[in-house]
Homo-oligomer: A and B are copies of this chain.
Amino acid sequence: MIVVTTPHATEHDIEAIIKFLTEHGFDIHRSTGVQHTVIGAIGVQPDFDHRQVELLPGVAEVVRISDPYKLASRAFREEGTVIPIGSVEVGRDPVVVMAGPCSVESEEQIHIIAKRVKAAGATVLRGGAFKPRTSPYAFQGLGEEGLTFMRQAADAHGLAVITEVMDRSQIDMVERYSDILQVGARNMQNYTFLRDLGKASKPVMLKRGLSATIEEWLMSAEYILSGGNHNVMLCERGIRTFEPSTRNTMDIGAIPLVKKRSHLPIIADPSHGIGLRDKVIPMARAAVAAGADGIMVEVHHDPDHAKSDGAQSLFPDQFEQLMREVKIIAEAIGRRIA
């Protein structure tokens, strides 16, 4: 932490600041300038709230000098993390494609879709079994039966499985069916849950919260990593902004930013990011062009009758066209589709 004093700070103020920092366990390095005195406070105090220093007389600015996350930072691990999922590896040059319906609706539905997305080149089957919805009166998912259907469909077509785990009580069960544990945007700062995921045996895909900064997102990844689970991938799925035309604003710029700051792979979810089918394809292409390690796309064989999110699900034909396009885009930047 670096503390900069105001031009008017008195020697008495400065000594009080130093005393405060020393009492809280920091080592001090003082550098006296003409206008400002700069105080370096060295040491790691997880409980310390730097706003306390901001309130001291004579303080102009307080700056943390290191990221609050460590295990998730690129500085900690220069090479990118590689996560093996079935036959593919997330985080290497090949771009991984995860596709499937929003919700598992029936055994037949998930089989039809699994077959189509596999044929088009996807390697991971997505689908939700637990769907807590904004309205208390809407379809809430098939539960564990849905997981069974999805596992069978994936196995039948040589796909891996990704599905959301809603809370700690579901971790064991979901691990039995899924290759990746998806953590939803609303759980991104559910720290007790994240801690439990740190003990899980399966890789975790952590979605960015709707109003989470990139720093907060990496801090949440840190919780999982610090629990011992090193297989964490991130997923950009849109943030909340003032623009009302789309459900969310997909922050494509987060992709190169995360790649620079962290060694963790990053996936893009354009279906949630933009929220309307006809814009999902351009956004999926954009994500690959920006350097995403994978994309996750909602596909449904009959979106008009989907029980959830039909409006943002691609028809299988559209998905096939998307695959053709992203194949070329991946090659333009020296990658390929997994």
Contacts and interface: CB of A to CB of B under 8 A. Distances in A.
Taken together, the copies of this chain in the complex come to 4
A260 interface: yes
Contacts of A68: 134-135
Interface string A301-314: 00110011111100
A190 interface: yes
Contact of A213 (B51, B60, B243): B243
A3 to B, nearest CB: 10
A311 B192 CA distance: 25
Contact of A65 (B60, B251, B308): B60
Interface string A34-63: 111010101000110101101100001101
A75 B58 CA distance: 10
Given A240-B211, A312-B51, A35 B66 contact: yes
Contacts of A307: 47
Given A33-B40, A75-B8, A282-B289, A192 B211 contact: no
A38 B283 CA distance: 32
A132 B54 contact: no
Interface stretch (A84-92, A152-160, A327-335): A327-335
Given A2-B2, A49-B311, 17 more contacts: A35-B66, A36-B65, A46-B138, A47-B138, A51-B276, A52-B311, A60-B67, A134-B216, A167-B168, A213-B244, A215-B245, A246-B257, A253-B283, A285-B290, A285-B332, A289-B289, A328-B331
